[in-house]
Structure 1
Amino acid sequence: MPSNGDAPVTAYDRLASSIRKQILSGELRPGHRLPTELALSTHYQVSRNTAREAIRALAGQGLLVVKRGVAGGTFVASPTTAQVSESLMSGLALLTDSADLSVSVLMEIREMLEVPAAELAARNRTDEELGAIHESLFDPGRIDPTRVFVNNRDFHTGVLRATHNPLLEVLAEPVFRVLKERFLRERASADFWVRVDAEHREIVGYLDDRDQAGAREASRAHLRYLRSVYEKIDRIQG
C-alpha cells in the first residue's frame, strides 16, 4: 500500500519503468525494435492495454517512437540535442518553483560551464565561429530593444559552440532559458547592457588572440557581474 500520501504505482508505471531502465542503461539501443503489445503483455504478465499505456507514456517522454504501416512498430528513439535540451529546460523550470532553485544556483552552474568553455573556445574556435560571435555584439544605444536578449544569447551560445563540445551547449541552453523567463532583466540598471556589451567585447578580444587564460578570466569576471545583478533583481522580485 502507498504511504505518506504517495500515489499508487500502476501496472503500466511498473512496465514503463522497466523499459525505461533498459533504455537508459543501454540494454535497448536507439533504433531497437520493441516486441509487439501482445508479446510485451505476455512477457510481463500484464494486459495489452497496460502495455499500450506504458508505450504511450514512454513515447510522450521521447524515449520511444511509434511508427505505423507495414514496416511500423515501436522503436527506441534517437533523441536530438534539441530534444534533450528541451527536456532539461522543462525540469529546471519546474524545480525553480518546487525546490527553491535560486538564481544563485543557476548562475553557479553557468560559471561552471562557461568559464572553461571560454578557454576551450579560444583554443578551438574557427574563423567562421569567431565571425558569428562578432556578429552577436551590439551597441546598447542603437540596437532594437527586442533584439538585445537574442544577441546576448547568441553571444554565449556562440562561445559554447566554438568549444566543439556539443554537450556544453546542451547543458547550458536550458539554464539560459530559465533565467530569461524567470528573472526579468528589464529591472536592471540603465548601464547594465552597456557593461554587458563592453565585457562581451573584452572576451571576444581574447578569442581573437587565442588567449585561453585571458578568455577564461574575462568570462569568469563577466559571469560574476551577471550573478550580482540577477541576485539583486531576484531579491526585488521576491
Structure 2
Amino acid sequence: MAAGARASEPSRKVIGRSVVRPRQQVEETIKAAILSGELKSGEMLPSEAELARQFNVSRGTLREALRVLASQHLIYKVPGARGGTFVQSVDYSALGDVVTDSVDNLLALGSIRFDEVTHMRELLEVPSVRLAAEHRSADDLAKLHEIVDRQKAASVDDPSIPELDRQFHTLIARASQNRVLASFVAALHHASEPVHYLDLSPEVGRETVKQHQAIVRAIADQDPDAGERAIVEHLTYLRHHISAHRAK
C-alpha cells in the first residue's frame, strides 16, 4: 500500500535555481543591458566607483566582472583622464574580431598549424565568391574595380599591397551578404596574410592582379561557376608560391 501511494505521488516541482556569485550577477546584468540595447554601442559606462555602489559590491568584484565582459568583446577600456569603459560595437564585425584574436592566439601557442588556417580560408572563399556573384550590388562592384585598379598601378614593393589584398578578399565576402561567412573569411585572411608569404616579383604581381580581374569579371557577370573556377585557380596559385617561399 505504501509503495502504491508513493507511485501515485505527483512529481516534484522544481522552483529553485542556483544562486550566482556577485561577480556573475554584475556580469550578467551589464551583459543583458548591452544585448537588449539599453546600453548603446559606444556608450560610456558609469565609473567603477559608481558601478560598485549601484551593485553594492567591492571594486575588486566589479573589476573582475568587467574583465570578463572585455574578454567577450562586449566592452573596452580607454585609458587616461578622459577615458573610461565603453560598450563595444556588437555586430558581425565584432564576431570577426573574436575569431581573429582566437586564431592568432592558437597559432602563437602552436595549438593549430598555419596550413590548417590557410586550408580553411580556401574552403570558405569558394562559397564566398559564388554568393558574391549572386548577391553583389553595384556599389560592391565599383569598389572591387577600384581596388584592382589600385593593385594594377602599384609596384611590388608598395607597402599598400597587403592592405589592398585584404580589402579585396574581405569585400567579396561582404558582397556574399552572409555576415557570418564574411567575418570568418576576414579573420582567417588576416591570420594567414598570404601576401606576406609570397615571393613578390613583378611577374607574381602581374599574375595575381590578372587572377583578381578574372574573379571580379565573374562576379560582375553574376556567374557563380566562373567565379568558383577563378578563385580556385587563384588560391591554387597562391598555395604553390606560398609553399615554395616558406620552404626556403
| TM-score, normalised with respect to structure 1 | 0.70
Q: Counterpart amino acid of 2:132?
A: A
User: After superposition, what is the alpha-carbon deviation per residue over 1:24-69, rounded to whole angstroms, capped at 9, x for unaligned?
Assistant: 9x89844468xx646867xxxxx62442122221342233579xxx
1:172 to 167, 185, 198: 185
Q: Which aligned pairs between 1:1-238 and structure 2 lie closer than 5 A? A: 29-31=35-37, 37=52, 48-61=58-71, 62-64=73-75, 79-138=90-149, 142-144=153-155, 145-180=158-193, 184-185=196-197, 187-236=199-248
Q: 1:22 to 1:232 in 2, by over 3 A?
A: farther
Instruction: Give the 3-state SS of the residue equivalent to 1:137 in structure 2.
Output: helix
- Structure 2 counterpart SS, 1:187: coil
Identity across aligned pairs (percent)?
Answer: 20
Deviation string, structure 1 residues 187-209 (Cα, Å, up to 9, x no partner): 34552222211111111221121
Conserved in 1, the CA contact under 8 Å of 2:23 and 2:62?
no
Matched residue type, 1:56: L
Instruction: Go from structure 1 to structure 2 and tell me whether the alpha carbon gap of 1:231 and 1:20 turns closer, same or farther (over 3 Å shift).
Output: farther
Counterpart CA distance in 1 for 2:241 and 2:186 is 20
Q: Any idea what SS the aligned residue of 1:146 has?
A: coil
Alpha-carbon distance in 2 for matches of 1:21, 1:223:
43
Q: Distance in 1 between matches of 2:94 and 2:30?
A: 16
CA contact (8 A) 1:122 1:207 kept: yes
Distance 1:99 1:28 in 2: 34
Distance 1:76 1:140 in 2: 37
Question: Displacement of 1:81 after TM fit?
Answer: 3.3
Structure 1 window deviating more from structure 2 (15-24 vs 217-226): it is: 15-24
User: In the alignment, is the contact (CA less than 8 A) between 1:30 and 1:78 conserved in 2?
Assistant: no
Structure 1 regions of 5+ residues with no counterpart?
1-13, 42-46, 67-73
Task: Tell me whether 140-149 or 109-118 shows the greater mean CA deviation.
Answer: 140-149
Q: Secondary structure at the match of 1:234?
A: helix
Per-residue CA deviation, residues 153-212 of structure 1 (Å, 9 max, x unaligned), is 2221221121112222211212222223x9733534552222211111111221121111
Letter of the aligned partner of 1:130 in structure 2?
A: L
Using the alignment, how far apart are the partners of 1:161 and 1:28 within structure 2?
Answer: 25
Q: CA RMSD in A?
A: 3.6
The 2-side partners of 1:108 and 1:199 are apart by: 19
Cα-to-partner distance string for 1:115-146 (whole Å, 9 max, x where unaligned): 00111111111122111111111476741412
Equivalent position SS for 1:210: coil
Aligned residue type for 1:197: V
Worse-superposed segment, 182-191 or 102-111? 182-191
Equivalent AA in structure 2 for residue 201 of structure 1: Q
